[in-house]
Structures are given as structure tokens and as C-alpha cells.
Amino acid sequence: MAPPTAIDTNVQGVTDTQAIVMPDPLTTENVAGRRLKVPKMSLGVAAFASSDMWKTPYPSRPKAKRWDYRLSVESRSRMGSSLKAAAKYLKIPDLISLGGGLPSSENFPFERMDIKVPLPPHFSEQETKESGVVSTTGKYDVSEGKSLYDISLSFNYGQATGSGQLLRFVTEHTECTTLPTRIGNAA
């Protein structure tokens, strides 16, 4: 049996001359265009984010398999925590939680950070030292409209899922490199 393809085409072979439409996989070239089509990211401190906000819809992919039937009766009867149940309210845009105890970014002793990163395909330490690019982030770059992420957001408390900016990158990177074959919690 052949391994599954990277792109689920859901094609039924009828004749050897029948034309089929292959879905376009997400590539690094069309990430910027796709970002314009999805809802705007909430950029506040501890803003809600879910990878479902940035996944490409592929209705032809099968749903993820359910495994809850393998759980014991006791495990299936357990209820979620009340704290997790309250988390649904964090999805409301621009809602600020007053229970987070978030410190003021004015207390952070950093004004900016500079990081030298390699340019592909030169990833060795010596090549990075010679030809790397210096990337700078400031304390209030988001509020000044310079960036989508800054020190005031990254150094503060956030959601357990991680920052929306990082979650969006990981979701898009996963689609560009692997294109998961199933949709749902397993994707």
C-alpha cells in the first residue's frame, strides 16, 4: 500500500484522460496574500489566539479520528475544569482580563533588543558572524505601528497556547512544509 500523499486530493479515477483540479498548497510566496483574507490579529497583551484562525480550509480532507471510545467509563464521565470553561470568554475581541495581574511594560528594563540571524543558506556560526542580518525590536513597536510583536508583549504574561504571532507562524510553517492530511484536533 502506498503512503498517503502530502496533499489530499480526494480524486476518484474514472478514466485515464479525465482532468482533475489539484488544490494549491500554501507556499511562502502566498502567505502575505492569505494574511489579508483572514480576520485581523488581536495584538494586545495576553490576546486570545487559536491555530484555527489561520488554517487553510480544505473541505476535502477527512476529519481526524476520534479515540474517546477507548477511554474508560470513569474517564469519559469526568468534566472539564471551571477555569477552562471560563476561557471561552477570552475569545471576545479586545476583552481585557482584570485577573491576570499583568505588570506594566514601563517596568521592563529594556528599550530594544538586537539579534543577528543567519541568511539562508549560510547557517554556520562563522557565516552568521560575517553575513548575518541584525534584526531589532523595540519596547513599543506595536503601538507605534512598526511591528506586529515587541518587548512589551513578548516579556509579559500571555495565554497558555502562546502568543498569537508565534502560533500563526507555526501554523503557516506546518502547512507550507507538511500540509496535514486530516482536519480537526489531530491536524
* C-alpha cell recorded at residue 59: 473541505
Q: What is the mean pLDDT of residues 48-54?
A: 81
Is 123 within the bounds of a domain? yes
Q: In sequence order, which residues have a C-beta less than 8 Å from that of residue 93 and are 6 or more positions away?
A: 42, 48
12 band by pLDDT with thresholds 50, 70 and 90: low
CA–chain centroid gap for 71, Å, is 29
What is the structure's pLDDT at 7?
46
- Say yes or no: 114 and 173 in one domain: no
Q: Which domain holds residue 85?
A: 20-57+81-102+158-180
- Count: domains in the chain: 2
Q: What is the mean pLDDT of residues 9-35?
A: 66
Tell me the Ramachandran region of residue 184: left when phi exceeds 0, alpha when psi lies from -120 to 50, beta otherwise: left
In order, the DSSP letters of 115-135 are EEEPPTT--SHHHHHHH-EEE
pLDDT tens digits, 74-95: 999 998 888 777 777 777 767 7
pLDDT tens digits, 86-129: 777 777 767 766 666 678 889 899 999 999 999 988 999 999 99
Number of H helices, E strands in the chain: 6, 2
Q: What is the largest CA-CA distance in the chain?
A: 69
Q: What is the mean pLDDT of residues 35-40?
A: 78
- Say yes or no: 122 and 49 in one domain: no
More confident call, 119 vs 53: 119
What is the structure's pLDDT at 4?
46
- Say yes or no: 42 and 132 in one domain: no
- Say yes or no: 92 and 173 in one domain: yes
* C-alpha cell recorded at residue 110: 529594556
pTM: 0.61
CA-to-CA distance for 168 and 187, rounded, in angstroms?
14
